[in-house]
């Protein structure tokens, strides 16, 4: 499962998206789309709050 949302706060110059998903551990990723390419801006381990969002969403599936 992946949670994906538009990043309103940081989408001034280009549309940015946030994704929280699990690949071994829960990761927080920021990316943008340019033409047919997805450009990674940032990837890191999710914080405890972000992990909570991920696992709370997982319960509803």
What pLDDT does 7 receive?
Answer: 95
Provide the domain count of the chain.
1
**Does pTM top 0.95 for this prediction?**
no
Residues 6+ apart with CB under 8 A from 16: 6, 7, 10, 30, 31, 32, 41
pLDDT for 60:
55
Question: Once rounded to an integer, what is the mean pLDDT over residues 28-52?
Answer: 96
Q: State the pLDDT at residue 19.
A: 97
Domain range enclosing 46? 2-59
Token readout for 57 is 């969403």
Mean pLDDT for 22-34 is 96
Q: Which stretches does DSSP call E strand in 13-61?
A: 16-23, 25-34, 37-45
pLDDT band, residue 59 (cuts 50/70/90): low
> What does the pLDDT read at residue 57?
84
């Amino acid at each position: 499962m992946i949670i994906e949302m538009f990043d309103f706060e940081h989408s001034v110059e280009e549309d940015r998206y946030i994704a929280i998903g699990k690949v071994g551990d829960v990761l927080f990723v920021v990316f943008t789309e340019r033409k047919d390419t997805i450009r990674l801006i940032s990837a890191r381990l999710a914080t405890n709050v972000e992990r909570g969002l991920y696992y709370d969403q997982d319960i509803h599936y």
